[in-house]
Amino acid sequence: MLSALSLPVVDLVGHSLGGAVALTLAARAPERVSRLVLISPAVLPLPLPLEGRLLLTPGLGRLLWTRAFTRGELRRQLVRDHFRDAEVVTEELVDYVWARVNRPGGREAAYAVLETLGNLREHNPDIEAVRAPTLLIWPDSDRVVPLAVGRRLVERIATAELRIVPACGHNTPLERPIELSRLLTGFLGAPHNVGRPVELRG
């Protein structure tokens, strides 16, 4: 993809499962990534709620996903798991996500994401292979990819620093866009020296 876009080297930003993709690229093609920003990347085993575990039950899970996952359930999960501030979950946002779940191939793609999240493993050699200066951005109230995961990653990525976003749930780009923009601008616009992992708030 980068070659098709004539981009030999990039600064790369990824959120959640996109963060896992970004980390994998940085680890396996280090010459293509100059700086890396990972926002709550899903790269280590996650604490799945009961309904998530039920949905991954062989046979039963796909049936439940096809017939029992409603718009109301989507809204409930967004409020409970993805955002700290329930007011961010507007009806327009729910409609937007619901429309994408139900377009052709949408449910199958969403279920494949759930299967991926349910099968993450502790041993991931790509984590230690990252060499690009790396900023880990983590909301303090993330219930999808808990902050504890970020604190483990900053110890495993030799070039990483961790910045914590206060009063925010998993979806930092929607819940704290100004704070996220400030962190991105500060990191991508400043020179970096590789040093020991640090943890900073705000």
Q: What is the pLDDT of residue 152?
A: 96
Residue range 81-102: mean pLDDT, rounded:
97
* Domains of the chain by start residue, with CATH: 10-46+121-201 (3.40.50.1820), 50-118 (no CATH)
The CA–CA distances, whole Å, from 195 to 65, 67, 132, 154 equal 45, 51, 12, 11
Between 112 and 196, residue with greater pLDDT:
112
Residue 167 φ/ψ region, left for φ over 0, alpha for ψ in the -120 to 50 degree band, beta for the rest: left
Residues 4-16: tens digit of each pLDDT:
777 889 999 999 9
The answer to pTM > 0.85 is: yes
In three-state secondary structure terms, 164 is strand
Distance in angstroms (rounded) separating the CA atoms of residues 201 and 98: 34
**Which whole number is the average pLDDT over 99-117?**
93
